[in-house]
């Protein structure tokens, strides 16, 4: 097994790749480094765009824009897990060097999403006409009241037009070309910033701001699809005649379980703040949510690595190369825990000072909350790497059960503990739910999967 230095040389095309195992590692290294660069671009774009849009729109219209963006993220669940299931399906075709099989899966996924987008449109616009959007968003100014309804419609149209093309990033991933997907994503982020600057300079309003920023990202995604299907991999072009019942069944069987896992994740991660606000007051949400966000950075390695490891595992499973999977998972798992620990340790000791400088005194947490968040970051980092492996193997039934059980257990524990031990009780409930419902059974299943 080559050293880390050798893999970096391979990733930079300094040496020749010897076999499938080395090629997978090279693609993983490329994916991680381009993902890190892409994340840096996204952070820079966010850094410049937030103050620009706040000053341009004002508090009320900016709040409406953020709320619209959040709503679109929830509507994205309407893909029913088909997009995620495509990674495994296309990886199978890639591993078997069967272009027809991969193309049939792409066609099934693309046109299924076209149908979903059409149904969403048929449901949305009759409702849009009768809803008083200014009341939904509780905006008061005349300008905001006039703009918010058309802005919602514009954001929705962009979303449904882009929905079928959301398969593109997963196809790049399935062919272990995450680096290419990261480059397209970075281009989209940079062009959206340019569009934002142009719109604010022209004083064009909220609707054109939504159209420019979201529309540009969608346009880049469509251009990426044109390049993928027209130049890079024309055998994957999603012609409607290639849609098969077998392909649809393959995607929906996994997609349904991905969908349930996504629902469980929303319950698990979106209810904590509601529980805190209800029992302790809205002010208590601030230190919890800021601390949560800070400790999320401790999982940066796994969040960058998973998009590359997933298709690599899937292809290796399809080729029967379980030795590579076992060796790679163990390396990834250990590095995830080590990196999370090394990043969490200074946050435990200096987190209060960091948060005081970053977000102000109102956001400073207790030392107990910092400790529990550090423990949580280790647990969650471990489960991400395990879930990545199981998802690539198509072992979704267990994950669905574990996730739903954890969501329900977390909800119950958090409600009980927040009343007994305060703010820290919420994260203790999350830790307890994950250890009992996810870590233990999932670790056993991972062991069975890599030893089979």
CA dihedral 270, 185, 224, 122 (to 10 degrees): 30
- Rounded CA-CA distance 233/99 in Å is 9
> So where are the chain's domains?
4-245, 271-451
d(CA 198, CA 191): 11
CA distance 33 to 30: 5
In whole angstroms, give the CA distance from residue 77 to residue 12: 37
The residue assigned the tokens 């309003």 is: 205
How far apart, in whole angstroms, are the C-alpha atoms of residue 400 and residue 437? 11
Measured between alpha carbons, how far is 215 from 165 in angstroms, rounded to an integer?
13
pLDDT one digit per residue (tens) for the chain, 452 residues: 444 455 455 445 444 555 566 666 666 766 666 666 666 666 666 656 666 676 667 767 766 776 677 677 667 766 767 777 777 778 777 777 788 888 888 898 899 889 989 998 999 899 888 888 877 777 778 887 888 888 889 989 998 898 889 888 888 877 877 778 878 888 888 888 888 888 888 877 788 888 888 888 889 989 999 999 988 889 888 888 888 887 788 777 767 777 777 777 777 766 787 788 778 876 777 788 778 878 888 887 777 777 778 778 887 887 778 888 888 888 888 888 898 899 999 999 998 998 888 767 877 889 999 999 999 999 988 888 888 888 888 787 888 888 889 889 999 999 999 999 998 999 999 999 999 998 889 889 988 888 76
pLDDT tens sequence across 303-361: 777 777 877 888 788 777 888 888 888 888 888 889 889 999 999 999 899 888 876 78
**Taking the C-alpha atoms of 225, 231, 235 and 238 in order, what is their torsion angle to the nearest 10 degrees?**
30
**Dist. CA 264–CA 438, nearest whole Å:** 12
**Residue 77 region, left (φ>0) first, then alpha (ψ -120 to 50), else beta?**
alpha
**Look-up of token digits 């896992």:** 261
413: helix, strand or coil: helix
H-run or E-run covering 57: helix 20-75
């Amino acid at each position: 097994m080559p050293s880390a230095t050798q893999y970096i040389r391979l990733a930079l095309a300094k040496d020749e790749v010897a076999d499938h195992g080395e090629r997978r590692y090279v693609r993983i290294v490329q994916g991680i480094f381009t993902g890190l660069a892409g994340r840096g671009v996204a952070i820079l774009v966010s850094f410049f765009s937030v103050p620009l849009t706040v000053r341009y729109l004002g508090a009320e219209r900016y709040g409406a824009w953020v709320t619209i963006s959040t709503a679109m993220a929830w509507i994205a669940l309407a893909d029913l897990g088909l997009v995620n299931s495509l990674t495994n399906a296309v990886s199978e075709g890639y591993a078997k060097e069967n272009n027809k099989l991969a193309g049939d899966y792409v066609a099934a996924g693309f046109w299924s999403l076209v149908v979903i987008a059409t149904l969403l449109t048929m449901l949305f616009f009759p409702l849009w006409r009768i809803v008083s959007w200014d009341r939904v968003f509780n905006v008061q100014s005349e300008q905001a009241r006039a703009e918010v309804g058309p802005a919602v419609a514009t954001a929705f149209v962009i979303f449904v037009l882009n929905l079928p093309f959301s398969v593109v990033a997963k196809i790049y991933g399935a062919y272990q070309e995450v680096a290419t997907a990261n480059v397209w994503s970075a281009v989209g982020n940079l062009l959206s910033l340019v569009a934002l600057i142009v719109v604010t300079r022209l004083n064009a309003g909220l609707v054109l701001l939504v159209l420019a920023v979201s529309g540009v990202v969608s346009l880049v995604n469509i251009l990426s699809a044109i390049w993928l299907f027209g130049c890079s991999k024309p055998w994957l072009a999603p012609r409607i005649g290639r849609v098969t019942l077998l392909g649809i069944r393959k995607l929906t069987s996994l997609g349904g379980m991905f969908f349930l896992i996504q629902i469980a994740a929303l319950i698990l991660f979106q209810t904590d703040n509601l529980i805190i606000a209800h029992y302790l007051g809205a002010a208590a949400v601030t230190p919890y949510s800021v601390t949560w966000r800070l400790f999320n950075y401790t999982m940066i390695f796994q969040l960058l690595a998973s998009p590359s490891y997933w298709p690599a595992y899937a292809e290796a499973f399809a080729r029967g190369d379980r030795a590579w999977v076992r060796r790679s998972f163990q390396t990834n798992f250990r590095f995830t825990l080590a990196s999370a620990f090394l990043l969490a340790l200074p946050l435990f000791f200096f987190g209060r000072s960091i948060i005081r400088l970053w977000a102000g005194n109102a956001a400073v947490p207790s030392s107990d909350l910092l400790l529990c968040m550090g423990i949580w970051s280790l647990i969650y980092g471990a489960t991400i790497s395990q879930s990545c492996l199981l998802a690539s193997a198509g072992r979704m039934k267990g994950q669905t059960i574990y996730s739903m059980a954890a969501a329900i257990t977390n909800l119950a524990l958090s409600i009980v503990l927040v009343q007994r031990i305060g703010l820290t009780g919420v994260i203790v409930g999350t830790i307890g739910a994950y250890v009992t419902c996810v870590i233990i059974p999932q670790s056993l299943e991972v062991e069975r999967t890599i030893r089979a």
